[in-house]
Amino acid sequence: MIKNEKQYAITNKKRKEFLRSLEKLQVDSQSNDKFKKIMQDAIKSQIETFDRELKEYEKLTNEKPIIFSSPIENLSETLIKARIVTGLSQNDLAKIVGLKEQQIQRYEANNYESANLERMLSIANAMNIHFDETRACIRQDIIKVKGYDVDFLKHATTKLQNRRSLFTV
């Protein structure tokens, strides 16, 4: 996923390089046909990936779609897309949340793996992302929670971390 203008420019440049490589490979008649076919397929596949990522970024920046629903598993991707759609740079978001730009860059570089739930929720709140319903599954029971309460989630996260540390040797 392309996350900023710099990555967009780099991806576009790489796409052009791959197109030139594909053209050279198609003109080159000296190489082994099977090897040539494998190389062409690999290059075409990478070009398709570049095209897909470029189109997604262009759609997010130009069309400003509303992200209606996104599963919790995609929260990190949703945060990145929301920042792009709202037109915020990583620096703008960092200022709103009270972090350094490099921290937002690190979060996005690793898809928020190093961010805790509280931090992700504060970033979501800064961009006006709303959660309509949250479900917590405990054994076979499902407890519905309308919206979310930051203190509750903070307490639950701490509790889970404490339980996890009990199992760690």
Three-class SS string for 100-159? CHHHHHHHHHCCCCCCCHHHHHHHHHHCCCCCCEEEEEECCEEEEEECCCHHHHHHHHHH
* Residues 12 and 59 occupy one common structural domain: yes
Note the pLDDT tens digit of each residue in 95-125: 999 999 999 999 999 999 999 989 998 999 8
Query: What is the number of domains present in the chain?
Result: 3
> Which one-letter amino acid corresponds to residue 51?
D
* Residues 115 and 162 occupy one common structural domain: no
Q: Which helix (H) or strand (E) holds 19?
A: helix 5-27
> Over 60: is that where the pLDDT of 139 sits?
no
* Residues 31 and 54 occupy one common structural domain: yes
* Residues 122 and 151 occupy one common structural domain: no
The whole-number pLDDT of residue 169 equals 39
Question: Which residue would you say has higher pLDDT here, 39 or 158?
Answer: 39
Stretch among 35-39, 116-120, 132-136, 159-163 having the lowest mean pLDDT: 132-136
Three-class SS string for 31-89? CCHHHHHHHHHHHHHHHHHHHHHHHHHHHHHHHCCCCCCCCHHHHHHHHHHHHHHCCCC
Note the pLDDT tens digit of each residue in 63-73: 776 655 667 77
Domain span at residue 33 reads 5-63
Q: What is the pTM of this model?
A: 0.66
* Residues 20 and 43 occupy one common structural domain: yes
Q: Angle between the 117-126 and 90-97 helix axes, to the nearest 10 degrees?
A: 110
Note the pLDDT tens digit of each residue in 21-54: 999 988 876 667 888 889 999 999 999 999 999 9
| 8 A C-beta contact, residue 14 and residue 50 | yes
> Which one-letter amino acid corresponds to residue 20?
R
* Residues 58 and 107 occupy one common structural domain: no
